[in-house]
Amino acid sequence: MAVEELIYRGYELALSKIFTSALIETIALALLVSLVVCSINIVTVRWHGRYSFDLDLHGIQKVHKNMVSRTGGIALLSGVLAVPILGHFDYYPLSLQLETKTTILKLLLAATPAFLAGIIEDLTKKVSVRTRFCSIFASAILAAWLLGARLPRLDIWALDGALNWLPLSVAITAFAVVGVTNSINIVDGFHGVAGATVVIVLAGAGYLSWQAGDTLVTQLALAGIGATIGFLMLNYPTGRLFMGDGGAYFMGFWAAEVAVLTIVRNPTINAWQILSIYAYPVIEVLFSMYRRKILHDTVVGAPDRLHLHSLFYRRVACHKFKFRKYPWSRNAGVACFVAAWVSIATLTTVLIGNTIPAAVALVIIQMLIYVAVYMRLVRGHWGHCRSLAVILGLRPQPKGRAI
């Protein structure tokens, strides 16, 4: 018995060393390449700035005062691409080395339509919202074809049986991927907000995959984390380089596919637990659609300044962060609020969301917290229960109050 226990512990130690080596190499490669490409982008801005600068300093969602390049997505893509090209993974069995590299390259290929639509918009400002959405949809279809990345279940009794029909499964997966991808673009309004969100949700999904013994999906998550951290080192807190639509769509798509593959490859992980990890950006995009279409009857894709992070900036950051020496502090302060929220939600979900009832409860709690905080920021006080009806459009809003 002692010999068997010794062998088992030795096996555990070997696996631990393998994972540690993989973690270090994947994150280090993606981070370093992303950081180098970001630095080159900033140094050479005098030559490409006339194409890459965000020239609209007076748009409805703009808060920055100086022109900044919006091509951070190139660095994010480069960071992830470096992992299969430069990484050796010699500590893996040969079959796993090939599977890891092939999967990353296939997912990068699938991400190409979404990334191109975003980066072309960053450079030309002439790509319509519909074209960008269709490009993300095409990327999701490609991922389903190349990697089998289609949801086999939603852990909803009435729907799970229907997902056995391939066209329905692919369609629902594609719409989910479009939603998550666009949600990262929506929260990309202040320095570090989208980047921090991506890092945290990928860390949560990656940890669950690692717990389930899925090294492949863990590597996908780590590649995205490393590339995003490399970008954040120059984006946060001063905003020397922007993620842009290309970066937001690429990392949003990457995070969405990590979520899908986590569910596809790991039957022990319930879909609601993944949704709870991704809840903040998903709730933001759903509430924005509801607010624009149902409450205001405007175009769903129209920009506005009524996102939760925008309200936090105007109601809290502009009043609390008064450091004249650091004018960027108000902008950067929003990321602290968002990162704290997403971190707490992700940690709680990882710890106690392993059953469907618990995960569903966590999703509902996050929705209620979102509405309560949104209500507080809109009205300037916590108000009474009837304020919820105002927020949801079930009662007329008071004069002078905008929702």
Specify binding-site residues for Mg(2+). Answer: 185, 245
3-state secondary structure the chain: CHHHHHHHHHHHHHHHHHHHHHHHHHHHHHHHHHHHHHHHHHHCHHHHHHHHECCCCCCCCCCCCCCCECCHHHHHHHHHHHHHHHCCCCCCCHHHHHHHHHHHHHHHHHHHHHHHHHHHHHHHCCCCHHHHHHHHHHHHHHHHHHHCCCCCCCCCHHHHCHHHCHHHHHHHHHHHHHHHHHHHHHHCCCCCHHHHHHHHHHHHHHHHHHHCCCHHHHHHHHHHHHHHHHHHHHHCCCCCCCCHHHHHHHHHHHHHHHHHHHHHHCCCCCHHHHHHHCHHHHHHHHHHHHHHHHHCCCCCCCCCCCCHHHHHHHHHHHHHCCCCCCCCHHHHHHHHHHHHHHHHHHHHHHHHCCCHHHHHHHHHHHHHHHHHHHHHHHHCCCCCCHHHHHHCCCCCCCCCCCC
Distance CA 364, CA 385 (A): 17
Binding residues: 185, 245
Report the 10 Å Cβ neighbour count for 3.
Answer: 7
